[in-house]
Structure 1
């Protein structure tokens, strides 16, 4: 089967085409950008370039996989709108991939505990805790928005499993690396993923989507909705203003 994969859930924009099944697959093309441009400027041109370079007829794809959150509210809306539009135009199903699972799949096959962290501001992260059984992803803690200290407490529960090693990746690493190594998890063995593995990649979203597809986890374009996990900053600020105004009255 052939899957078109999109990820614009964070600072990175990525498009890939993945072919095969869970036993044997390959990435036909991947275009990833981590640069100071908006996803509205980059995602569709990247998709167009991938299609041209691989002589891809979009009608030949079997499904569209999209990193569906959590992450950047604007990025998620752009990715979901693009996937929904393509799904409706091509009459193709969508595969809803949790962003953190897609990131964890960058490290497919590792024996360590995998913990992606995305900076969610206010000392919080979007995160999940995962491990692998061969090349199959196993969810230990489903994706969530929590404080970095609380994440440390959750990770302590897995001491001794998989030799106790934890690998972190994501844009939360540069924000919390010092806290994790020198305070929160100073007694644990920690590894940080190298540059080529530490951000969102559409090839990982597409490869994980093969497992979802074989399990029948697909949806229509009309059904698809992104997973924000929490309200936007603008909504939080609006509620804070309303609360302040009501107190003033």
Structure 2
């Protein structure tokens, strides 16, 4: 089973192809170019490097949020269009679960954090285990102090990953002390391979939907939606 994974919910664009869970090819760029410029050439190259044709792709997995509103829309639109053209299922994968996946063997608390602006992060709290992460709480859009309060439910070290780590690392250390651990730089960036791998496991479990049925997981309203709601309330 060939699964194409697309990650575009953050400033990083990641694409990968897996066959029965085995990574065949992967590309990742963090060059600040828009995903609309990066994704399609990367997908074309990944399929060629995997040594297959588009007719052999069984499903498309895409990061469905939370994350950048613009990035999510571009990633989801790209994935839906390809799945529609190829007439194959699409699988939405949590951006946070994809970040947590590479650290699951540690069997401890893993807390991916993405910069949500407005002094908040997008986050979920996972427990490491063999296979897929066990989600203990989330997804949420909250401040760091509130997140740390939630983490008090589970003793022991907590490993943080994600693009919000450089922004909030000092505050996390101040609040959590020696309990706070941080993934290596290579673990801070979401990977298309993790999205594809989670998509593969979801397909084995009978998952996957038609392209038009998949919706992004924004967690909170966009700035435009907030302003529109405020305008409607003032009338």
The interval holding the TM-score normalised by the smaller chain is: over 0.9
How many aligned residue pairs are there? 235
Q: Pick from 172, 176, 191: which aligns with 1:185?
A: 176
Q: Which of 129, 151, 175 is the aligned partner of 1:155?
A: 151
Give distance in 2, aligned partners of 1:98 and 1:37: 23
Match of 1:121 among 117, 126, 131: 117
The reply to whether residue 213 of structure 1 matches residue 215 of structure 2 is no
The 1-side partners of 2:7 and 2:110 are apart by: 19
Q: How does 1:90-239 map to 2 (within 5 A)?
A: 90-159=86-155, 164-182=156-174, 184-186=175-177, 188-239=178-229
**1:82 aligns to what SS in structure 2?**
helix
Q: Distance in 2 between matches of 1:108 and 1:28?
A: 21
Supply the RMSD in Å over aligned alpha carbons. Answer: 1.6
Unaligned stretches of 5+ in structure 1?
none
* Equivalent-residue separation in structure 1 for 2:86 and 2:120 (angstroms): 38
Per-residue CA distance 1:156-181 (angstroms, 9 max, x = gap): 1101xxxx111000011011100000
Cα distance between partner residues in 2 of 1:133 and 1:112: 8
CA contact (8 A) 1:69 1:98 kept: yes
Local SS of the residue matching 2:73? helix
Shift of 1:132: 2.4
Larger radius of gyration: 1
Q: How far, CA to CA, are the matches of 1:39 and 1:136 in structure 2?
A: 27
TM-score, structure 1 length as denominator? 0.89
Distance 1:238 1:82, change over 3 A: same
Q: Tell whether the 8 Å contact from 2:17 to 2:50 is kept in structure 1 after alignment.
A: no
Q: Distance in 1 between matches of 2:25 and 2:67?
A: 24
Q: Distance in 2 between matches of 1:7 and 1:171?
A: 14
1:31 aligns with 2:22: no
SS state of the match for residue 213, structure 2? coil
How far, CA to CA, are the matches of 1:192 and 1:173 in structure 2? 8
1:145 aligned counterpart, secondary structure: strand
Runs of 4+ displaced beyond 3 Å: 237-243
- 1:41-96 Cα distance to aligned partner (Å, 9 max, x none): 10111111112233321110111100000100111001111111111111100111
Q: Give unmatched runs, 5+ long, in structure 2.
A: none
Between the aligned partners of 2:200 and 2:48, the Cα distance in structure 1 is 24
* TM-score, scaled to structure 2: 0.95
The whole-number CA distance in structure 2 between the counterparts of 1:49 and 1:213 is: 24
